[in-house]
Amino acid sequence: MKKIGLLLFSFAFAANSYGQITKQGHTNQNKFKQLKQELPTPNLERTASGKPGKEYTQQKVDYVMDITLDDANTKITGSETITYHNNSKDDLEYLWVQLDQNMRAADSKTPDISPSSIRTKMSKGRYNRAFPEERFDGGFNIMSVTNKDGSPLLHTINQTMMRINLVEPLASGDTFEFNISWWYNINNHRTDGGRSGYEHFDENDNNNYVIAQFYPRMCVYDNVEGWQNDQFWGRSEFALEFGDFTVNITVPEDHMLGATGVLQNESEVLTKKEQKRLETARKTFDDVVVIRTQKEAEKIEKSKASSTKTWKFVAENVRDYAFATSRKFIWDAMAVDINGKTVMAYSLYSKEANPLYGDHSTKAVAQTLETYSKYTFDYPYHKAISVDGQMGMEYPQICFNPGRPDLPDGGYSDRVKYRMVKVTIHEVGHNFFPMIVNSDERQWTWMDEGLNSYMEMLAELDYDPNFPITRGYPKNIVRYMSGDQSRIAPIMSKGDNVYSFGSNAYGKPATALWILRETIMGKELFDHAFRTYSQRWMFKHPSPADFFRTMEDASGIDLDWFWRGWFYTTDVTDIGIKSVKKYATKESGDTVEFVEDTTEGLGFSKNENKYHYEITYEKPGGLVMPIIVEFTYKDGTKEKKTYPAQIWRYDDKEVTKVFSSSKQIESIMIDPDLETADVDTSNNAFPKETANKFDKFKSKIKG
């Protein structure tokens, strides 16, 4: 007893260099400790349950805009009246406006923040972009900023942000109206890159325009960030307020145009034939109706109108505005039934994108609206448009997507088809996240891209049960998660500061949600919680804490361990079988004795009525995850057993469990369906010789 006591004493105390005995302690490193330090303190605006509180407030911004597209000079000119509603409890000394186009200004600092080096060879086009003789100037030219009465309004421009210097603070509950007029040169997004711009076609000297970030936009002010006025460096996207838009867009008379909002002057901008076809489309739910045909578009694009026309739109309760216009556009449409409400799915595309777009674009839009509405909330707007923009970007009710036929006969390969459908579903899906569930993209990219990438998987499988999903299945994130740790950041990182942007903000969070639904929570609990989050934060500004708390609140499952591991660290999953012991039993009166059978393998030295296996599982990886074990019996049958992640709460390195059966086991596999993103499966099988079978099996798994 003395020896034991001294041994315990030596663990609890240690002698310092002066011979004094000091206590050794540590902070709570348990993977299951609560997520208290990481999450903000709940308050009356954002509650501990994850839903908006009784005192939740949100600003509102209304815009009235007149926009003119100068096709000959590829230039946008605009004027706007902004009405800012201060619904917060704070008096505001100044207002902040986003000037995103300044990222393309001649003096922009964006090119200066990225490292560069000389390549021994590069294409001439890439060389010209990297070393232009004269740098393209696509920044805003602010012509005036005035008060409601037309008097000058003091303002300060700081790169992509403009501060409106108020004479006196804007009191809580008050509104402020002011005007801005501007112009800028439109970039060729096909040669110079960008999230909007034009694509030039040498044939007939035409342009397709996909226009966004084209107007000075108000920053978000809330109780989480205050003013969200982080500079726009080109990657991390946007934080925006909801409001009402009245927009008049003047373009060449022969252009076909699509935009955010309800078209107010349909009879003025569409031909009688187009109006009639559109009416047919509004009643057609099972097929696509062509409003402007390829033949008609080809005829129009051969000449240029000298006159203009103005398209008039009104959009209520949207956070942003975008449009697309070209004389080349074909237009097709179909109606979508969203729980008894008719929503229109539209596509605008040039002949270069047909027949790919004609076959799949509008149908992919319709599928997205149906699937997302099923799992979140009914799509509230009247339309969704997919535009042949040859990029992937999203805005309320309209998005710009890639895809052109790639075969010599004008057809398209499965690779091109699936990529186009994938991006279309993803970008249309952004109507839900973040265009309605309005998270801060500048700060938390994963809250829209990750959630949307997860939902995209469900829509893709609805569109085609054999859809080749490339992002979201656990096995597809293994390569990234097991990579060089110096080039991996936690999901909870600002998008501008991560290396593998796609894997970090899209792939890993989508995988995390897939694992939650399929492996940890189950479909019913996950779907209810995810729907609850979506509906709680429709047309509001959720933060990460609101998502984490709502998922737990609505499911009754403590997920703090999961959020911490998957979102706050770069830990990986690696669970293996360390050892297996077999035990036979001997009965002696009222006593049962376990006797270890030390013969090699899983077979017993003699027949038994009950087989007992003491299995020690090891966890070299940092993530705690369920242990999913598949036992294959000698008669060829299988049995699966799942131990919850909490099995690791007392020992983060290894745990021993006894498994008993009336049948003898032939082999044991961990995570046989690759559900947990295990980065090293070499320790997943017992006996070791069955590992080869496991490797062959892995290659056959869907996804």
One CATH from 2.60.40, 1.10.730, 3.30.43, 1.20.120 for 58-114+125-241: 2.60.40
In eight-state DSSP terms, residue 689 is: G
Position 116 pLDDT exceeds 60: yes
Q: Which pLDDT score is estimated for 20?
A: 63
| 3-state secondary structure (DSSP) of residue 85 | strand
DSSP-based helix, strand, coil % in the chain, nearest 5:
30, 30, 40
Q: Cα–Cα distances in Å, from 599 out to 578, 580, 605?
A: 17, 11, 7
* Coil, helix or strand at residue 124: helix
Q: Which residues contact 616 (CB under 8 A, 6 or more apart)?
A: 577, 578, 579, 580, 654, 655, 656
Q: What is the pLDDT of residue 698?
A: 55
Buried (b) or exposed (e) across 223-245, using 16+ Cβ within 10 A?
bbbebbbbbbbbebbbbbbbbbb
The answer to whether 407 touches 414, Cβ cutoff 8 Å, is no
Which pLDDT score, from 0 to 100, does residue 4 have? 44
pLDDT in tens, 664-677: 999 999 999 999 99
Taking the C-alpha atoms of residue 250 and residue 66, their distance in angstroms, rounded to an integer, is: 8
Q: Report the distance separating Cα 606 and Cα 548, nearest Å.
A: 53
Q: How many CA atoms lie within 13 A of 404 on its CB side?
A: 8
Strands of 469-610 (E only): list them. Answer: 576-588, 591-597
Give the gyration radius of the chain's Cα atoms.
Answer: 30
Residue 535: exposure state from Cβ atoms within 10 A (0-12, 13-18, ≥19): middle
Residue of 96, 95, 84 whose CA lies nearest to 58: 84
DSSP string for residues in 36-82:
TTTSPPP-SSB-TTSSB-TT----EEEEEEEEEEETTTTEEEEEEEE
- Whole-number pLDDT of residue 12: 43
Strand blocks (E) in 519-588: 576-588
CA 692 from centre of chain:
36
- Given a cut of 90, is residue 114 above it in pLDDT? no
With a cut of 80, say whether residue 218 has pLDDT above it. yes
> What pLDDT is stored for residue 6 in this prediction?
42
Rounded to an integer, what distance in angstroms lies between the CA atom of residue 515 and that of residue 522?
Answer: 9
Nearest to 434 by CA among 540, 288, 574, 544: 540
- 85-89, 96-100, 495-499: which has the minimum mean pLDDT? 495-499
pLDDT at 111: 84
Q: What pLDDT is attached to residue 110?
A: 85
pLDDT of residue 608: 85
Average pLDDT across the chain, whole number: 94
Give the tokens for residue 557.
């499952």
Residue 696 pLDDT exceeds 80: no
Across 333-342, average pLDDT: 98
Residue 130 is predicted with a pLDDT of 75
Per-residue pLDDT tens over the stretch 448-493: 999 999 999 999 999 999 999 999 999 999 999 999 999 999 999 9
If one compares 1 and 233, the residue with the highest pLDDT of the two is: 233
pLDDT above 90 covers what percent of the chain?
A: 87
Sorted by sequence, the CB contacts under 8 Å of residue 180 that are 6+ apart come out as 79, 80, 82, 97, 142, 144, 145, 146, 216
Every domain of the chain and the residues it spans:
58-114+125-241, 576-700
- Report the pLDDT averaged over residues 416-424: 98
pLDDT above 80 for 259:
yes
Tokens representing 226 are: 């205050």
CA distance 643 to 412: 47
Whole-angstrom distance, CA of residue 161 vs CA of residue 164 = 10
* Contact assessment for residue 485 and residue 679, using Cβ atoms and an 8 Å cutoff: no
Is pTM beyond 0.85? Reply is yes
DSSP, res 110 = G
Closest CA to 182 of 261, 82, 112: 82
Residue 293: pLDDT above 90? yes
Predicted confidence (pLDDT) per residue in 365-393, tens digit: 999 999 999 999 999 999 999 999 999 99
For the cut 50, the answer to whether the pLDDT of residue 9 exceeds it is no
Q: How many CA atoms lie within 13 A of 429 on its CB side?
A: 28
Q: What is the DSSP string of 352-416?
A: GGTTHHHHHHHHHHHHHHHHHHHHS----SSEEEEEE-SS-EEETTEEEE-----STTS---HHH
> pLDDT per residue over 555-577, tens digit each?
999 999 999 999 999 999 999 99
Strands 75-85 and 155-158: unpaired
Q: Which has more confidence, 132 or 345?
A: 345
* Position 692 confidence tier, pLDDT thresholds 50, 70, 90: low
| Residue-by-residue DSSP string for 196-214 | SEEEEETGGGEEEEEE-S-
Token representation of residue 30: 């348990």
Residue 401, pLDDT score: 98
Distance CA(484)–CA(482), nearest Å, equals 7
pLDDT bucket at 1, cuts 50 / 70 / 90? very low
* Confidence at residue 694, expressed as pLDDT on a 0 to 100 scale: 55
Q: Which helix (H) or strand (E) holds 326?
A: strand 323-326
Gap between the Cα atoms of 358 and 344, Å rounded = 16
Q: Which residue, chain included where needed, has tokens 């979140």?
A: 376
> Which of 162, 180, 168 lies closest to 219, judged by CA?
162
pLDDT given for residue 688 in this prediction: 83
The pLDDT tens digits for 169-204 are 999 999 999 999 999 999 999 999 999 999 999 999
What's the token pair of residue 687? 């006996």
Confidence category of residue 662, pLDDT binned at 50, 70, 90: very high
Q: Which pLDDT score is estimated for 5?
A: 43
The two three-digit tokens of residue 126, written as one number: 């890439």
Q: 437-454: per-residue pLDDT in tens?
A: 999 999 999 999 999 999
How far apart (Å, rounded) are the C-alpha atoms in residues 344 and 365?
9
**Nearest by Cα to 365 from 404, 391, 342, 397:** 397
Q: What is the pLDDT of residues 122-176, one digit of tens each?
A: 887 778 777 777 788 999 999 999 999 999 999 999 999 999 999 999 999 999 9
Residue 304 and residue 299: Cα distance in Å, rounded?
A: 11
The stretch 60-81 carries a mean pLDDT of 98
Strands in 323-326's sheet, in edge-to-edge order, are 197-201, 206-211, 323-326, 256-259
Long-range contacts of 62-65 (CB under 8 A, 24+ apart): 62/243, 62/244, 62/245, 63/215, 63/243, 63/244, 63/245, 63/246, 63/247, 63/321, 64/245, 64/246, 64/247, 65/215, 65/245, 65/246, 65/247, 65/248, 65/321
Residue ranges of the alpha helices (H) in 141-293?
189-192, 266-269, 272-281
Tokens (6 digits) for 650: 């007392």
